[in-house]
Amino acid sequence: MLGSFVRRALGRRWLVAVSGAVFAASQLAIAAILRPVSPEILRFQCTALRADDVRRTFAAWEASGALAAYRAHFALDRVHPLWYASFATALLARLFERCGVPARWNAVLALPALSAALDAVENRIQLGFLADPAAIPDRLALFSTAASLGKWALVLGYGALAAALLAGWAPRGSRNPR
């Protein structure tokens, strides 16, 4: 009962629209800031397993003048996880309601918050790396990459579910994705 109420409340059309607009604006701004390190940023997030990997990447970005852009993006990326988690949760809740997804799927609505938490952990660690690259321990580089990989796996998972619901390939019991 409570889960259905929460799902309906989170899936309001206006909430999807507003959170989607805020997310899109934030995403575009971050993409513009990170342009000097694109597409290396994704490789860095997912493969910097050792402290030397982080230091090597930072040195290359420093040499090219791109490290300042990476550092600058954190001004927005500190709150960006909140924006994308809000949008993804509202969108999934809306789609769940519209498609008649059974209540047993409601736990999926927590996945955007989990990905945002992993993103926040990754961001905090990366800010520490920027503050003192010489002091990065291997275990923290590995933990940062693990947080990033977890974040991206969750985003891909609930993103695929949202796409499937939009396309009409919904879980059993689903109807009408409009």
Establish if 174 belongs to a structural domain: no
109-143 pLDDT tens trace: 999 999 999 999 999 999 999 999 999 999 999 99
If one counts the domains in the chain, the total is 1
Rounded to whole angstroms, the Cα distance separating 73 from 30 reads: 6
Q: In Å, how far are 13, 50, 102, 116, 158 from 123, measured between CA atoms?
A: 31, 17, 35, 10, 21
CA distance 129 to 50: 12
Q: What is the pLDDT of residues 33-74, one digit of tens each?
A: 999 999 899 999 999 999 999 999 999 999 999 999 999 999
107 within some domain: yes
Q: Is residue 177 part of a domain?
A: no
Q: Which DSSP category does 79 fall into? A: T
At 145, give phi and psi (nearest 5°). Answer: -65, -40
Tell me whether residue 60 is exposed, middle or buried, using C-beta atoms within 10 angstroms of its C-beta: 0 to 12, 13 to 18, 19 or more. Answer: middle
| pLDDT beyond 80 at 91 | yes
- DSSP class of residue 34 equals T
* 3-state SS, residue 59: helix
172 domain residue, yes or no: no
What dihedral angle (degrees, nearest 10) is formed by the CA atoms of 86, 90, 91, 95?
Answer: 160
* Whether residue 178 has pLDDT greater than 80: no
pTM score, two decimals? 0.90
Which residues are within 8 A (CB) of 120 and not within 5 positions of it... i.e. 6 or more apart?
Answer: 81
Residue 72, CA distances (Å) to 13, 126, 177 in order: 33, 12, 39
Does residue 178 sit within a domain?
A: no
- Tens-digit pLDDT profile for residues 4-23: 788 889 999 999 999 999 99
Q: Is 29 inside a domain boundary?
A: yes
Quick check: 3 pLDDT over 80?
A: no
Q: What's the rounded mean pLDDT across residues 149-164?
A: 97
Residue 174 has pLDDT above 50, yes or no: no
Q: How far apart are alpha carbons 145 and 134 in whole angstroms?
A: 18
> Would you say residue 176 lies in a domain?
no
Q: What residue numbers bound the domain in which 123 lies?
A: 2-167
pLDDT of 2 higher than 70: no
Q: Is the pLDDT of residue 171 over 80?
A: no
Report CA torsion sign: 33, 75, 88, 142: positive
